[in-house]
Amino acid sequence: MIPGVRLVLLGKQGSGKGTQAVRLARHFVVHHVSTGDMFRAAVRAGTEFGRKAREYMDSGELVPDEVTIGIVKERLEQAGTKRRGFVLDGFPRNVAQAQALSDYLAPQDIHLVIDLEVATEVVLKRLAARRVCSSCGTNYSVDVPPAVNWTCDVCDGEVVQRADDTETAIRRRLEIYQKNTAPLVAWYKDRDHLDVVCGEGPPDEVTSRLIDTIDRRREAGV
């Protein structure tokens, strides 16, 4: 069987982290761990935690670190990710989260962090067009809708626009990305964990680029 991987995907909002994480998790037979998906599931479940998370998410702010770090550790424990690994999508988003992840994984470490690079004008177009299944989170867009009447091809759920895909929230999310997440790129570069991959072009091409990058790192003995 193909060896597993411990991978972090970075990239601004709409760069395709979710789209590609699903494909990479399938390819490397590891778990896809998305903080955004976990928070949206809590919102749908109507828990107290979900109600609090929703206030941050709808306005484009980050959910506080202590809550986010706790939920990720819990998920990594449950999924049995220590054996084969994971694709982390949307976490870490700042240096404090990255440090907490590194402490949690020790004595293991992540294999690779990929910064999925996409121009801001491209992500703005993608986010305006994005539609998601309100039940399972599968991504669509107005250009590539589900086969039947905004009903999810995977689970028959209703396909809708995300509550944080408003102009104001998108602007705020991109600001936060520049302030908190962009410094992470430098932090991982200093630790020799980072590769930058172009996230533009058809999704299949982006997937091939990502897999080639991961395989090359592996051959180099990471």
Pick the stretch among 34-42, 76-84, 101-109, 212-220 that binds ligand AP5 (CB under 6 A).
34-42
For residue 62, what are the CA distances in angstroms to 69, 160, 179, 184, 193? 12, 22, 12, 15, 24
Of 9-17, 23-31, 74-82, 184-192, the segment contacting ligand AP5 by CB under 6 A is: 9-17
Tell whether residue 139 is a contact of ligand AP5 (CB under 6 A): yes
Under rule CB under 5 A, residue 137 binds Mg ion: no
Residue found by looking up tokens 């976490």 in the block? 91
Per CB under 6 A, does 32 bind ligand AP5? Answer: no
Gap between the Cα atoms of 63 and 59, Å rounded: 11
75 touching ligand AP5, by CB under 6 A: no
Residues recorded for the chain: 222
Among 7, 33, 63, 87, binds ligand AP5 (CB under 6 A): 63
Contact partners, residue 97, CB within 8 Å, separation at least 6: 65, 68, 69, 72, 91
Q: Could you tell me which stretch among 17-25, 73-81, 143-151, 196-204 binds Mg ion (CB under 5 A)? A: 17-25
Cα 74 versus chain centre, distance: 17
Q: Does 18 bind Mg ion (CB under 5 A)?
A: yes
Hey, what are 172's tokens? Answer: 């705020």
Nearest distance from C-beta of residue 91 to ligand AP5, angstroms: 4
